[in-house]
Amino acid sequence: MISDLTELEASANSIKVLREHQQALEASQAELRKQKEWLQVTMRSIGDAVIATDDEGRISFLNPAATALTGWTEQEALGRPVRDVFHIIDDTTRRPGEDVVARALSEGKTVGLTGATSLIVRDGRIVVVAPAGDGRPAVDTTGAGDLWASGFLYGLVEGYPLEKCGELGSACGYEVCQVVGASIPDDGWQRIRNSLEKSEK
């Protein structure tokens, strides 16, 4: 009888532990869904064109700015090789530009566009491509979303057009990614001011 009670108690404890693990797993999954949704909203609202790929260089995400830039809808672009959608050429030679996505994937690091580069839009138009920031890799993304929102809202309050608000938000988010922590150093603020002044001329 005691043996049966001991086995019953052990089974009850095992069930309790399993329930606790299940609850923790469900809470983690809910948090992951929440973070994924936040990331999707953030990526869709960034003023810069954002194209994400899988490990094979096939498109897994295109934000509205990238859709406007390339002429491809996200639905049409999903699963396609990035070179089909982001078809760049060297401005000097007019030859296909370097496949920066393939290089970034193979080297496992940030790769910027080299030299003067243009994009051939889906309808055949040619658009000059200017990379975001100055090509420095992100050091820490703490505060990037908050600073993006702050820059965007500042622009809105100052009466800038929405496109300029997005650019200002992107500049603030970019600068905070260059340092550890959630504050922009003085030289970063100066780059933002210079960029803002240049665009107002």
Q: What would the pLDDT profile of 129-138 be if each residue is shown by its tens digit?
A: 765 555 555 5
- pLDDT-derived band at 148 (thresholds 50, 70, 90) equals confident
Which CATH code is given to the segment(s) 51-129?
3.30.450
What pLDDT is stored for residue 107 in this prediction?
Answer: 84
What pLDDT is stored for residue 132 in this prediction?
Answer: 54
Q: What would the pLDDT profile of 76-93 be if each residue is shown by its tens digit?
A: 999 999 999 998 888 888
Q: What would the pLDDT profile of 157-187 be if each residue is shown by its tens digit?
A: 888 888 788 888 888 888 877 777 778 888 8
Q: What would the pLDDT profile of 23-72 be if each residue is shown by its tens digit?
A: 888 888 888 888 877 777 777 777 777 888 888 999 998 888 888 889 99
What ranges in 46-185 are assigned the alpha helix state H?
64-70, 74-77, 82-85, 100-107, 144-157, 162-176
154-183 burial string, b = 16+ CB within 10 Å, else e? ebeeeebeeebbbbbbbbbbbbbbbbeeee
What pLDDT is stored for residue 3 in this prediction?
Answer: 66
What pLDDT is stored for residue 138 in this prediction?
Answer: 57
Residue at token pair 């700015």: 65
Identity of the amino acid at 159: G
What pLDDT is stored for residue 34 in this prediction?
Answer: 82
Identity of the amino acid at 69: L
Pull the structure tokens for residue 116. Answer: 């003067």
